[in-house]
Structure 1
Amino acid sequence: MSLNFFKKYKIPLLFAIASIALYINFGYGLERSDFIKLILICTYLFYLSYYFIEKVKLNFWLLASLGIVSRLAFIAAIPNLSQDFYRFLWDGRLLLQGVSPYLFTPSSATALGVTMEQSQQLIEGMGALNASHFSNYPPINQLFFAIAALFAGKSILGSVVVLRVLIILADVGILYFGKKLLEKWNLPIKNIFWYFLNPFIIIELTGNLHFEGVMLFFFVWALYLLFKGKWLWAAILIGISVSVKLLPLLFLPLFLTYFINDKTQKVLEIFGVSIKRLAGFYSVIGFTVVLVFLPFLSSEFIQNFSSTIALWFQNFEFNASVYYIIRWIGFQVVGWNIIGTTGKILPVFVLLFVLAIAFFRKNKTPQELMIGMLFAVSIYFLLSTTVHPWYIATPLFLSVFTKYKFPIVWSFVVMLSYYAYGKDGFDENLWLVTLEYAGVIGFAVWEIFLSPKQKPVSF
Structure 2
Amino acid sequence: MLQLSKYQKITVGLTIICAVLYGVFAYTIERTNLLAVISIWIALFFLSYKIIQINNNNWKTLAIIGLLFRVIFIVAVPNLSQDFYRFIWDGRMLFEGFNPYLSLPEVWIAQGNAPIAQAQELYIGMGQLNGSHYTNYPPISQLCYFIAAIFAHKSILGSAIVLRTLIILADIGTFFFGKKLLEALSLPKKQIFWYILNPFIIIELTGNLHFEAVMVFFIIWSLYLLHKGYWYWAAIALALSVSVKLIPLLFLPLFFQKFIRNEHKGFDIKTGLPRLIGFYSIVITTVLITFAPFLSEAFFANFKRTITLWFQTFEFNASIFFIIRWIGYQIVGWNVIETAGKILPLVTITILLALTFLRKNISTVQLISAMVIGICCYYFLSTTVHPWYIAVPLSLCVFTMYRFPIAWSLVVILSYTAYLDPNFKENLWMVGLEYLVVFSMFTIEIFRRKAQPLFT
Instruction: Quickly name the TM-score band, shorter chain normalised.
Output: over 0.9
Query: Does 1:46 pair with 2:45?
Result: yes
- Deviation, 1:309, is 1.1
Q: Which moved more, 1:220-229 or 1:53-62?
A: 53-62
- Deviation, 1:445, is 1.1
Q: 1:5 to 1:316 in 2, by over 3 A?
A: same
In 2, Cα distance between equivalents of 1:303 and 1:265: 47
Structure 1 length normalisation: TM-score?
0.96
| Secondary structure, counterpart of 2:333 in structure 1 | coil
Query: Does 1:392 pair with 2:386?
Result: no
1:354 to 332, 344, 352: 352
| Secondary structure, counterpart of 1:187 in structure 2 | coil
Query: Does 1:59 pair with 2:25?
Result: no
Residue 269 of structure 2 aligns with which residue?
271
Residue 184 of structure 1 aligns with which residue?
184
CA contact 1:103–1:301 (8 Å) conserved in 2: yes
- Deviation, 1:357, is 0.4
Q: Which moved more, 1:232-241 or 1:327-336?
A: 232-241
CA contact 1:264–1:274 (8 Å) conserved in 2: no
Residue 429 of structure 1 aligns with which residue?
427
In 2, Cα distance between equivalents of 1:265 and 1:450: 29
In 1, Cα distance between equivalents of 2:107 and 2:57: 53
CA contact 1:265–1:271 (8 Å) conserved in 2: no
| Secondary structure, counterpart of 2:206 in structure 1 | helix
Equivalence map 1:7-406=2 (5 Å)? 7-57=6-56, 59-112=58-111, 113-262=113-262, 271-406=269-404
Residue 420 of structure 1 aligns with which residue?
418
What one-letter code is carried by the residue in structure 2 that aligns with 1:39? I
What one-letter code is carried by the residue in structure 1 that aligns with 2:246? L
| Secondary structure, counterpart of 1:274 in structure 2 | helix
- Deviation, 1:275, is 0.7
- Deviation, 1:263, is 5.9
In 2, Cα distance between equivalents of 1:322 and 1:249: 22
Q: 1:341 to 1:62 in 2, by over 3 A?
A: same
Structure 2 alignment gaps of length 5 or more: none
- Deviation, 1:185, is 1.1
In 1, Cα distance between equivalents of 2:296 and 2:452: 49
Q: 1:264 to 1:405 in 2, by over 3 A?
A: closer
Residue 449 of structure 1 aligns with which residue?
447
- Deviation, 1:450, is 3.0
1:346-370: CA deviation from partner (whole Å, max 9, x where unpaired): 0000001001101111111100000
CA contact 2:263–2:363 (8 Å) conserved in 1: no
In 1, Cα distance between equivalents of 2:452 and 2:258: 20
CA RMSD of aligned residues (A): 1.6
1:112-139: CA deviation from partner (whole Å, max 9, x where unpaired): 5232111000000000000000000001
CA contact 2:55–2:61 (8 Å) conserved in 1: no
In 1, Cα distance between equivalents of 2:236 and 2:444: 38
- Deviation, 1:111, is 4.0
1:191-238: CA deviation from partner (whole Å, max 9, x where unpaired): 100000000000000000000010010111111111111111111111
1:257-306: CA deviation from partner (whole Å, max 9, x where unpaired): 11001469668xx6222111110100000000001101111110001011
CA contact 2:312–2:337 (8 Å) conserved in 1: yes
| Secondary structure, counterpart of 2:103 in structure 1 | coil
In 1, Cα distance between equivalents of 2:389 and 2:212: 7
CA contact 2:205–2:212 (8 Å) conserved in 1: yes
Identity of aligned residues (%): 55
CA contact 2:7–2:54 (8 Å) conserved in 1: no
Q: Which moved more, 1:55-64 or 1:139-148?
A: 55-64
CA contact 1:257–1:358 (8 Å) conserved in 2: yes
1:238-273: CA deviation from partner (whole Å, max 9, x where unpaired): 111100000110000000111001469668xx6222
| Secondary structure, counterpart of 1:53 in structure 2 | helix
- Deviation, 1:307, is 1.0
What one-letter code is carried by the residue in structure 2 that aligns with 1:72? V
CA contact 2:148–2:159 (8 Å) conserved in 1: yes
CA contact 2:314–2:383 (8 Å) conserved in 1: yes
Q: Which moved more, 1:414-423 or 1:241-250?
A: 414-423
- Deviation, 1:446, is 1.5
- Deviation, 1:186, is 1.1
Q: Which moved more, 1:197-206 or 1:417-426?
A: 417-426
| Secondary structure, counterpart of 1:102 in structure 2 | helix
Q: Which moved more, 1:113-122 or 1:338-347?
A: 113-122
In 2, Cα distance between equivalents of 1:7 and 1:273: 56
In 2, Cα distance between equivalents of 1:103 and 1:111: 16
Q: Which moved more, 1:187-196 or 1:441-450?
A: 441-450
- Deviation, 1:423, is 5.9
| Secondary structure, counterpart of 1:384 in structure 2 | coil
CA contact 2:55–2:62 (8 Å) conserved in 1: no
Structure 1 alignment gaps of length 5 or more: none
